[in-house]
Amino acid sequence: MLYDIFYSLPISLSSFFCLTAMLLGALVPKNRSNIVMPYATIGLAIVFTFAALLWGRNGTAFNSMITTGMYPSFFDMLFSASGILVMIAARPYLQRMNWEFDEFYILILFAVSGMILMAHANHLLIVFIGIEVMSISFYVLSAYMRNQILSVESGLKYFLLGAFSTGFLLYGMALVYGATGGKMEYSAIRAAVSYGAQMPSLLLAGTGLIIIGLSFKVSAFPFHVWSPDVYQGAPTIVTAFMSTGGKAAAFAAFIQLSSVLIPNGGPDSTKLTYLLAMLSAASMLYGNIAACAQQNVKRLLAYSSIAQAGYMMIGIVSGTGRGTSGIMFYLGAYLFTQIGAFIVVSALEHEYGKQLEFSDYAGLAKRHPLLAGVMSLFMFSLLGLPPFAIFFGKYYLFMAAIEAGYTWLALVGILASLISAYFYLGLIVAMYFRSHETGEIHAAQPGMSGVTIAIAVAGVIFLGLVPAAVLRITGVLM
């Protein structure tokens, strides 16, 4: 029992900090309430440290309800890092919007603890609880600016569609439970599936529904419809968090569940893998093609995140250790790049929902050479140019695809990358090759968010130049 508690410290610690932060927010007088944000940041830093310390303690705890060890530890670090980066950058943004409340930081803590639960899950119920904790926090965070119609709309849309998709997920889980003869724990389900389920058609239906539910969470085509509107309407800082931490958490669950429900050599594995490959190809193409038409930077990044989810799904399709470690690397690279890009957007956003169009970015290179330079760096990374972080993730995933015999998927991937050059470069064209024409110009005040941006830049370059540092971590899993 003691060991169980010790090895699952990231889970318990993150929940502990959620609850105490809430108390702190309630007890400390309002005029001195700026203590919650540092408290939450330090809390996440502690979670991060413990996740790193518990590295390598592979095993299960609490009657095999949760797993511990490298895989969840990597994700714990990823989630807490994204939480920390976002919280540092959130303060100047919220203050500029004149809407800073402690609840914001507490909700982020809650979301992180939900994500951590998802990564640790070894049981269908645990993963479901994790998804719900995270998603509910996201619904509220999207609607956080409740005086802004866009934000409220985004929250409502996310909530309705999210609840619907959760229904799919839960129904799928129930079917799997029935089909495998009452199994909820991952290894038991895997064994049952490989052995041949009692009711194969129920299992197939259940797996399909779970894939749909998770595809919604990672915003893969055709279950992506919510993401552009939600990403655009939600406060930029929240979008930064949802599109990185949230996506990483969804993938943490997706990787696990797909290896459980679609084991190599399982009855329907060829069919289902093919289905996943189609989803991946469609997401890459659709996300990038649709992004070409966008004039709003947030929407552009939202569509591009659909495509990025498509790239990451290549790793799930390949179903190999290389694929898994490729997704994990990609998620790390994507975290720095995407958070960095959104924080630059948030630093330029002077009023809520304004200064987000391409025309507002025209001539940025002259006004803010540093911000423009950093933003182009993020765009080049998203585009997958070396020596930036995401390039290496793509390289690894394409490698996994070719290895697994999915060369056509890698070819679709390069075609999609080529299309994406158009809009990623389009933003650079605006920033560097055009000059500002209409409207007033507000000077950006990055403030503390400069710290996040600097860390993101360092991460993008470091992961690009020394990918071995992270691969040594993710590669252990192979």
Partner 1 sequence: MLLATLFAPLVGALALLLVSRDAKKALKYTSLTVSVVAFLFGLATLLNFDHANPNMQMLTMQGWIPSLDAGFRIGVDGMSVLFIFLTALTIPVVILAGFDSIKSQEKEFYVLILLLEFGVIGIFAALDTFLFYVFFELILIPMYFLIGIWGGERKTFAALKFFIYTMFGSLVMLIGLIWLGYYVQQTTGHFTTNLLLLREIAPTIPLDTQKWMFFAFMLAFCIKVPLFPVHTWLPDVQSEAPLVGTVVVGAVLFKIGIYGLIRFGLEMFPQSSFEYAKVMCALGAAAVIYGAMLAIVQTDIRRLASFALVSSLGTMVMGVFSMTPEGVQGAIIQTFNHGLSVTGLFLCLGMLTERRGTTLLADYGGIAKVMPIFAVFFAISLFSLVGLPGLNGFVGEYLLLLGTFRSPFLNNWTFGILGATTGVFVAIYMLKLYNDICFGGFKNDDSASMSDLTTKELAMLIPATILMIWIGIYPSTFMRFSEESTKALVGKLEIAKFGKTNYTETLKKLHKAPAAESEAHETHKGH
State the number of binding residues for partner 1 (CB under 8 A): 30
Which of the ranges 29-37, 53-61, 344-352, 423-431 carries the binding residues for partner 1, by CB under 8 A?
423-431
Two tokens, residue 56: 């390598």
* Cβ contacts of 20 within 8 Å, gap of 6 or more: 39, 43
Contact assessment for residue 280 and residue 317, using Cβ atoms and an 8 Å cutoff:
yes
Token pair for 250:
């969804």
Q: Which range touches partner 1 (CB under 8 A), out of 110-118, 182-190, 195-203, 380-388?
A: 380-388
User: Is there binding between residue 380 and partner 1 (CB under 8 A)?
Assistant: yes
**Cα–Cα separations (whole angstroms), residue 177 to 170, 171, 180, 275, 348:** 10, 10, 6, 22, 49
Query: Toward partner 1, which CB reaches closer, 150 or 419?
Result: 419
Told to check if 425 binds partner 1 by CB under 8 A, we report yes
Asked if 473 interacts with partner 1 (CB under 8 A), we say: no
Tokens of 326: 């490729």
Q: Is 433 in the site for partner 1 (CB under 8 A)?
A: yes
Among 4, 103, 229, 403, the residue binding partner 1 under the rule CB under 8 A is 403
Ordered DSSP codes for 157-199: HHHHHHHHHHHHHHHHHHHHHHHTTS--BHHHHHHHHHH--SS
Lay out the site mask for partner 1 across 58-87 (x = CB under 8 A, - = otherwise): ------------------------------
Calpha distance 117→278 (Å, rounded): 29
Q: Which of 141, 371 has the CB closer to partner 1? A: 371
Instruction: Spell out a b/e string for 437-454, using b for 16 or more CB atoms within 10 Å of the CB, else e.
Output: eeeeeeebebeebbebbe
Residues near 44 by beta carbon (within 8 Å), at least 6 away in sequence? 14, 17, 80, 83, 84, 87, 109, 112
Which helix (DSSP H) or strand (DSSP E) does residue 339 occupy? Answer: helix 321-348
Out of 387, 442, 447, 461, which residue is the one contacting partner 1 (CB under 8 A)?
387
Smallest distance, partner 1 to C-beta of residue 278, A: 20
Question: x/- site string to partner 1, residues 90 to 119, per CB under 8 A?
Answer: ------------------------------
* 462 touches partner 1 (CB under 8 A): no
DSSP per position, 258-313: HHHHS-TT-TTHHHHHHHHHHHHHHHHHHHHHHHHT--BHHHHHHHHHHHHHHHHH
422 binds partner 1 (CB under 8 A): yes
- Is residue 418 a contact point for partner 1 (CB under 8 A)? yes
- The region of 141-149, 238-246, 305-313, 378-386 touching partner 1 under the rule CB under 8 A is 378-386
Report the nearest approach of partner 1 to the CB of residue 399 (Å): 5
Q: Which stretch in 66-74, 123-131, 304-312, 393-401 sits in contact with partner 1 by CB under 8 A?
A: 393-401
In this chain, which stretch among 88-96, 141-149, 331-339, 382-390 interacts with partner 1, using CB under 8 A? 382-390
- What is the rounded CA–CA span in Å between residue 163 and residue 92? 32
Exactly one of 13, 249, 313, 471 binds partner 1 (CB under 8 A); that residue is 471
Q: How far is CA 86 from CA 80, 317, 343, in A?
A: 10, 31, 8
Segment lying near partner 1 (by CB under 8 A), choices 145-153, 175-183, 342-350, 398-406: 398-406
First vs last Cα of the chain: how many Å apart?
Answer: 30
Q: How many whole angstroms separate alpha carbon 125 and alpha carbon 186?
A: 11
Tokens matching residue 387: 């020596």
Write down the least CB distance from residue 207 to partner 1, Å.
30
- 414 forms part of the interface with partner 1 (CB under 8 A): yes
The CA–CA distances, whole Å, from 357 to 124, 229, 294, 353, 397 equal: 42, 15, 9, 10, 33
Indicate the residue among 178 and 387 with the shorter CB distance to partner 1.
387
Q: Is 243 helix (H, G, I), strand (E, B) or coil?
A: helix
Q: Is the peptide bond before 387 cis (omega within 30 degrees of 0)?
A: yes
Binding part of the chain for partner 1, among 4-12, 182-190, 208-216, 400-408 by CB under 8 A, reads 400-408
- Rounded Cα distance, 201 and 67, in Å: 29
Stretch in the footprint of partner 1 (CB under 8 A) among 26-34, 249-257, 269-277, 411-419: 411-419
Among 170, 399, 448, 451, binds partner 1 (CB under 8 A): 399
Among 68, 180, 417, 449, binds partner 1 (CB under 8 A): 417
Positions touching partner 1 (CB under 8 A) are 365, 369, 380, 385-387, 391, 395, 398-399, 402-403, 407, 410-411, 414, 417-418, 421-422, 425, 428-429, 432-433, 467-468, 471-472, 475
